[in-house]
Structure 1
Amino acid sequence: MCPKTISIWDLTSVKLIIDTDPGIDDALAIAYAALHPDIELLGLTTIFGNVTTAQATRNALYLAEKMGLSIPVASGAEKPLTLPPFAPKTRVHGLEGLGHLPAPAPTGTASPLAAAQFLCEMAERHRGKLVICPIGPITNIARALQMDTNFARNVDKIVFMGGALDVRGNVSPYAEANAFHDPHALDVVLASGANVTMVGLDVTLKVLLDEQDFSHIATRKHPVGPFLKELGAFYLDFYKSIGLSGCGLHDPMAIIAALYPGLFTMESMALEAVMEGEASGQTCRSQSKTRLPSHVALGCDADAIRHTFFSVFDQ
């Protein structure tokens, strides 16, 4: 495991696309990626989940502008591969996905390319170097795999936030929310042979942010801190309502795992997603003889992850 004094300047540049449904923890993940000196954020693709796809695209454009980014934002699928559409649960992220804030009005517009096409073209352009971090339902990545038979080989790795292997789900006893909202897409990705890492509830609830943490972010050098604190207040209220003292660092941990896998205890195993019945969305070990293994984060160095997350706000 990497030492707790790991530096955010220890990496070579990582070419990254975040597939996102912003969402408060998505905003934290995008901020981390935008501020990290070794991440070249090539774009955002959007998906339903915390919000509708239209809201996700609008929020992604707004967050990119808020972070001072000039990057493409490509709008993605509006519903799961097979299941009917889901209505967002507004009590978690707010009516518009950004806590108490009203609908933002970004000045930019989305890419003319749909998310899956954008992902395929970027994977081809940056063959063997592109990292994709899906932090919402993984539908866009499944569509890219179906669109381009070379996509799984073209990407360097896919590090997704989702799933719950050995712990209880958060939308059912079995399923984590992102997996639950498109288990068919998740199974396509897990069966693809791509280099896949799952960062799910087994680790993301081991790192919690509380009011003091958001106040700390707000006092650091970067001016985005007070904005994130405002979002965090809404998110913390939800977590308090379900009996937790802080909010999970869910989506940022996928970005951190893509950069610093040594901060996690990883196991390799074939995985599959349950696609029907009361356990729909459950991620479990597969008995398939042909399915290639994925990496699964089952433990983490919580102190080092917190240090790495906070450090980007001091630049």
Structure 2
Amino acid sequence: MRNVYFNHDGSVDDLVSLLLLLQMPDVTLTGVGVVGADSYLEPALAASRKIIDRFGHGVQLNVAASNSRGVHPFPKEWRLDAFSLDALPILNEAGTINTPVASKPAHLDLIDKVQETAGKTTLVMTGPLTDLARALEVDPTITEKIDKLYWMGGTFDGRGNVAEPEQDGTTEWNAFWDPQAVKTVWDSDIAIQMVGLESTRQVPLTPAIRQHWALQRQHPAIDFIGQGYALVPALQHFETNSTYFLWDVLATVASDSPEVVTTKEVTSDVLTTGPGRGRTFEISDGRPVTLVTTVDHDAFFKRIDELAILADD
């Protein structure tokens, strides 16, 4: 069994990732932290607790609320999805929430869970790296208990998804939210596997994928996945900076099923100032990162189905 601590920022993709982590047979989920980055904190926190109640097979967890704040906040329109997802009937049928909120903020909760768990812990992070960076500043020794970080963020091809003033278009949003946090983590000795934008473009949310899930909605978790992704736009005619790809789910599935991706090692650094702040870039004397390069599209979506169906039990 692998110990996994999951830190996410509350969008549809993050919450689907939480559902899938709860189904992975070889994963012991030791903790969950939620940051209000690509979401508002309260609905994202509530939805996380409800997903654990509904799909967690009775696991005893608490969910930590982050008090981290971004340097560059996500667009308000994107963050609103958390309110709708939290209101889905499948998450509210019970009428109560049993999974409690942790007593400490997420970066301190991460420290406690990593230090108190026997053996090493794998980190899966599908939002900004701020909570990890803050945890490293409080207790640098946690690196001794961290096996690996799987992160969805950054890009090395110069095609970012941030379209903001005084930004040059080369940066990915999770990195742009807090560039210095990425740099802090890069300067640590934690092993990193990175899912950047280049590989996520191979798994867009399309009408065909929506229909595939619609035909399997007799499985409650797949019904939840389909309903959740109904809140976001699909890639139909052309790519825009609001096109939805399965960014976070790719990072999450790849952390457990490495056969669905191919990777290469790159040496890299992070830009923290100027119009490209937040950009991850290759450099010969940089720190090594394992970068996901290609995805077996069919195997990836098959694995989502397999995990979601395990929630039937």
Establish whether TM, by shorter chain, passes 0.5. yes
Q: Name whichever of 300-309 and 172-181 sits farther off.
A: 300-309
Instruction: Give the Cα separation in 2 of the matches to 1:222 and 1:52.
Output: 28
Give 1:76's aligned amino acid: S
What is the aligned partner in structure 2 of residue 263 from structure 1?
Answer: 260
Q: What is the deviation of 1:70?
A: 3.6
Return the match for 1:206 from 202, 206, 214: 202
What is the aligned partner in structure 2 of residue 281 from structure 1?
Answer: 278
Return the match for 1:138 from 111, 129, 141: 129
What is the aligned partner in structure 2 of residue 189 from structure 1?
Answer: 185
Instruction: Give the Cα separation in 2 of the matches to 1:93 and 1:224.
Output: 22
Once the two structures are superposed, the pairs formed by residues 37-76 of structure 1 within 5 Å of their partners are 37-68=25-56, 69-76=59-66
The alpha-carbon distance between structure 1 residues 77 and 240, as it changes in their structure 2 partners (threshold 3 A), is farther
What is the aligned partner in structure 1 of residue 13 from structure 2?
Answer: 25
Return the match for 1:152 from 143, 146, 155: 143
Q: What is the deviation of 1:233?
A: 1.4
Instruction: Give the Cα separation in 1 of the matches to 2:245 and 2:298.
Output: 14
What's the TM-score, normalizing by structure 2?
Answer: 0.84
Q: Which digits, 9 at most, give the CA deviation of each residue in 1:9-45, with x for residues without a partner? A: xxxx222121011111112211211122222222210
Give 1:170's aligned amino acid: N
Give 1:15's aligned amino acid: N
Alignment coverage as a number of residue pairs? 297
Once the two structures are superposed, the pairs formed by residues 107-122 of structure 1 within 5 Å of their partners are 107-108=97-98, 109-122=100-113
Contact 1:50 1:90 in 2 (8 A): no
Q: What is the deviation of 1:209?
A: 3.3
Q: Which digits, 9 at most, give the CA deviation of each residue in 1:114-169, with x for residues without a partner? A: 21122112222335531111101111111111111211221111100111112511
Contact 1:274 1:280 in 2 (8 A): yes
What is the aligned partner in structure 1 of residue 120 from structure 2?
Answer: 129
Q: Name whichever of 69-78 and 220-229 sits farther off.
A: 220-229
What is the aligned partner in structure 2 of residue 305 from structure 1?
Answer: 300
What is the aligned partner in structure 2 of residue 9 from structure 1?
Answer: none
Q: Secondary structure at the match of 2:83?
A: coil
Q: Which digits, 9 at most, give the CA deviation of each residue in 1:230-276, with x for residues without a partner? A: 22112135x458647x8411111111221233432222233222112
Q: Determine whether 1:250 maps to 2:238.
A: no
Q: Secondary structure at the match of 2:159?
A: coil
Q: Which digits, 9 at most, give the CA deviation of each residue in 1:27-79, with x for residues without a partner? A: 22112111222222222101121113334322322322232454110111330
Contact 1:161 1:199 in 2 (8 A): yes
Instruction: Give the Cα separation in 1 of the matches to 2:87 and 2:276.
Output: 33
Instruction: Give the Cα separation in 2 of the matches to 1:71 and 1:221.
Output: 27
The alpha-carbon distance between structure 1 residues 35 and 214, as it changes in their structure 2 partners (threshold 3 A), is farther
Contact 1:269 1:293 in 2 (8 A): yes
Return the match for 2:220 from 218, 223, 229: 223
The alpha-carbon distance between structure 1 residues 106 and 17, as it changes in their structure 2 partners (threshold 3 A), is farther
Structure 2 gaps of 5+ residues are: 164-168
Instruction: Give the Cα separation in 1 of the matches to 2:129 and 2:264.
Output: 21
Contact 2:44 2:82 in 1 (8 A): no
Contact 1:50 1:97 in 2 (8 A): no
Q: What is the deviation of 1:306?
A: 1.9
What is the aligned partner in structure 2 of residue 4 from structure 1?
Answer: none
The sequence identity of aligned pairs, in percent, is: 25
Contact 1:24 1:93 in 2 (8 A): no
Contact 1:47 1:75 in 2 (8 A): yes
Instruction: Give the Cα separation in 2 of the matches to 1:226 and 1:205.
Output: 24
Return the match for 2:156 from 151, 165, 173: 165
Give 1:140's aligned amino acid: D
Q: What is the deviation of 1:184?
A: 0.6
Contact 1:130 1:155 in 2 (8 A): yes
